[in-house]
Amino acid sequence: MVGVCVVDSFAVSLPASVRRPTDVDLSVRIGSLLLSNPVIAASGTFGYGVEFAHLVDLNSLGGIVVKGLSAQPLAGAPAPRLCETAGGMLNAVGLQNIGVHTFVAEKLPELRKYRTAVIANVFGHTIAEYVEVIRVLEDAEGLAAYELNISCPNVDHGGAEFGLDPVSTTEVVTAARQAAKRPLWVKLAPNADVKAIAQAAEASGADALTVANTYPAMSIDPLSGRSRLGRRTGGLSGPAIKPLTLRLVHEVSRAVKLPVIGLGGIQTAADAVEYIIAGATAIQVGTAHFADPKTSESVVEGLRHHCNELSLYKINDLRRTLE
Ligand SMILES: Cc1cc2nc3c(=O)[nH]c(=O)nc-3n(C[C@H](O)[C@H](O)[C@H](O)COP(=O)(O)O)c2cc1C
User: How do residues 275-318 score in pLDDT, each as one tens digit?
Assistant: 999 999 999 999 999 999 999 999 999 999 999 999 999 999 99
Nearest-angstrom CA–CA distance, 38 and 316: 9
Q: In degrees rounded to 5, what are phi and psi of residue 25?
A: -90, 105
Query: Which pLDDT score, from 0 to 100, does residue 14 have?
Result: 46
Prediction pTM value: 0.94
Alpha carbon of 214 to ligand 1 centroid (Å): 6
Mean pLDDT over residues 189-214, rounded? 98
Tens digit of pLDDT for each residue in 105-153? 999 999 999 999 999 999 999 999 999 999 999 999 999 999 999 999 8
Is 152 annotated in the active site? yes
**Cα separation values, 319 from 48, 82, 259, 300, Å:** 29, 34, 11, 16
The confidence band for 220, taking pLDDT boundaries of 50, 70 and 90, is: very high
Domains of the chain: 26-318 (3.20.20.70)
Using a 6 Å cutoff on CB, does residue 262 contact ligand 1? no
Q: Which atom of ligand 1 is nearest to the CA of 212?
A: 19
Burial 43-66 (b: 16+ CB within 10 A, else e): bbbbebbbebeeebebebbbbbbb
- Residue 187 CA, closest ligand 1 atom number: 11
